[in-house]
Structure 1
Amino acid sequence: MVLAVGANPAVAAAVPPPTVDPGRLPPNSAPVPPPTELRDPCTVTAPAADLAQTPTPQRALDLEAVWPLSTGRGQVVAVIDTGVERHSRLPGLIPGGDYVSSGDGTSDCDGHGTLVAGIIAATRSPETGFAGVAPDARILSIRQSSNIYREVGGRRDAEGQNARGVGNVGTLASAIRRAADLGATVVNISEVACIPAGSGDNPALGAAIDYASRVKDVVIVAAAGNLDSDTCRTSNPAPNPATPHANLWDSVTTIATPAWYDDQVLAVGSVNPDGSPSEFTLPGPWVDVAAPGTDITSLDPRRLQPSGVTDSTNGGPVQGTSFAAPYVAGTAALIRARYPELTARQVMDRIEATAHAPAAGWDPYVGHGVIDPFAAVTAAPGRAGPGTQSVELAIPAPAPPPDHRPRDVALAGAGGVAALLGLGLLASFPLRRRLQRAGGDTTIG
């Protein structure tokens, strides 16, 4: 899901991480949506082909190994999205408000938010192989955007459709503040506003992120963004092998927000089933980790059974960094349930430290690597994680010099014997000569 913003052609520029002014925090108030109406029928997804099969991302992350240790119980994960439909496998759904239309956040015509929520916290069922990452966590739903609704009297494109839909960075800021005030411990934002480098940041959004992360100690997870022809049109440059130490913040062309609030947001890229970066992932110096973003199965807002990988309304697969982010948000809920003493920053650091790092180290497509929920949950508190703990080793003492005394004694003894033998041999020469002369004067008859 992409939030529409005004944009000019992107040009590479030096882009420092955004600044934050806490004084620009949006007020703590209930959503007041504008007058809106549906422009299209609600999205329909195709049912999963094999309900009994465990989805590929779920197997890849080995969630079955994690659940005996943590299921996210006691955690509230806010889904700021297109709403989350009430569903039997989201029994703890909490209505958080609606910035799109009259409602409480538990309607989802777009289908996007329900898919995201299912990946995070769908309960386990003996009838299907699918379940959420943190199946005992609760979802707090805030409907903040929609591509199907439009503002009444709003601008239409040539085909009579509202090109922007409903939702902007300002309402996103208000939704983040509301999620934090309603008690969320994790916030998932599978929405991205792509703006050209040099366009500046949004003071209200930065203040809301700072408030949720620093003041309310909330883990904020956001999608890195998808490259496409309508929204995030220009990719940021990949690292140049000729300048391996170059600062990628100096060559940004497209800013993805809220992902670029790097110090307080865990930005998530997408990988394919083979672990390679998904071709649609928008790279950037703010990308922290990656998770599966293709071959997605999750809860269908129109039916009780999970939906498969096809969006039958748009005729394309359900994929994107939007669906990679909830795997990370669910992992954060698992960690917070097992280690409630950890701060939001410590949870984020743990997820990064236990990820499967790329061969060359951090990169702008997958960040520190693909997440490992089991490693993130089992790493000892306060430690970076299995395989990454630093231990001071004592410097070994130098080896003692070789002891040649036995050899020297043996050689000396052998030399002494040889000398005595030599002397004895030399002493026998005169005696032999005298005996030989005496023998010559004797006559034998």
Structure 2
Amino acid sequence: MTTETRISPALRPGTAKDISPTSHDARRSLTVVGVNHALHDGYTDLIYVLLPVWQAEFGLGYVALAVLRSLYVGALAGLQMPATAAARLLGARAVLMLGTLTSAGGYALAGASGGLLGLCLALALSGAGSSTQHPLASAVIARAYGQAARGPLGTYNFAGDLGKAALPPLVGFLLTRSDWRPVLWLVAGLGFVVALGIGRLLPREPLMPGEAHGTAKAIRHDGTGQAGRTGFGLLVAIGMLDNAARPAFLIYLPFLLQAKGAALATVGVAFALVAVGGALGKAVFGRLGERFGVTRSVILTEAGTAAAILAVIALPLAPALVVLPGLGLMLNGTSSVLYGTVPELAPGGRVERAFAIFYTCTLGGSALASPLFYGPLGDAVGPSGAAVAAAATAFAVIPLMLALSPRLATPRAS
């Protein structure tokens, strides 16, 4: 398939709105949204470390624990499109800053909550704040770097995993020395600092109002027509399965490790190991997808994910911990490849809308799958059986990827 790329007049070199891939504004934009991504991804994954604490305090089953996580992720997924619409009126910088303030405020309220209902409302509020950063930050990078955006998008996703590598083990360590509520207040304070940094450092108009209406598109690909829409639909379906497999396994990872004799601090370290591998996977596979092709990269990561999940289930504690970085490498490697493909298949070249749809569907599917399928499965067959189902979900991506392959551009020769 040939891929047509066209730079809009509003963003051609030499204009006031141009942001070249080597410009200071482009690099600063990538740095600021990368730090913000680290915070929000850390916010999302620290919930896994807190699940055993909330299970003990509130007497919850696996379905209820899955619902707690889904309140956060569901709000995150469901508000992607409204966040994009808000950015047309207020600008991306203002919406990103307000979203981070809201997410941090949600965690502050979670720490102040006196019961389960308050915790549920606080998690939903925090997830709503986090809904702003994925589509807007991705569109900022796609427009700043144009045809060279796949690598920077991989860097952006790598930054998110740095947050996953830092916050969960930090929270796990602090939980051994303090109640969980003051720990969440500390985490919320970090979010307020990041929000102030966005308002201070992000260039004023990285995403211009009105772009979503087609007045300014930095990248225009062959995403029009029925073939383009079918390709994007397949990409979204692949993203939904991939994004369902990850939390389906991670929800049960603390309980799998505790059954092997792991303490709560060890569980926090385990998530750090997964995140370190995931950060490397996002940094590496984002560029490997460009060089060797999306199809081969995704098949490798999904098959590797399934194999690594089965290994963690079967092995004793110490060898299972050794496998976790490799699991993270495969588990998160797919996402960078998929995110970098969104601009290529964006219907009508509407990049920010394509990112919003992609994140809404993939995160929304994950939010629904956990309480409706994987949670009841865990109560019925236990954590090990539910984790096997997560491995099967990852493997199910492969036939869809083969169907998408003919609609993708040929990889660049090495």
TM-score by length of 1: 0.27
Structure in which a larger fraction of residues adopt strand: 1
Larger radius of gyration between Structure 1 and Structure 2: 1
Larger RCO, structures 1/2 (Cα 8 Å, 6+ apart): 2
How does the TM-score come out when normalised to structure 2? 0.29
Structure with greater proportional helix content = 2
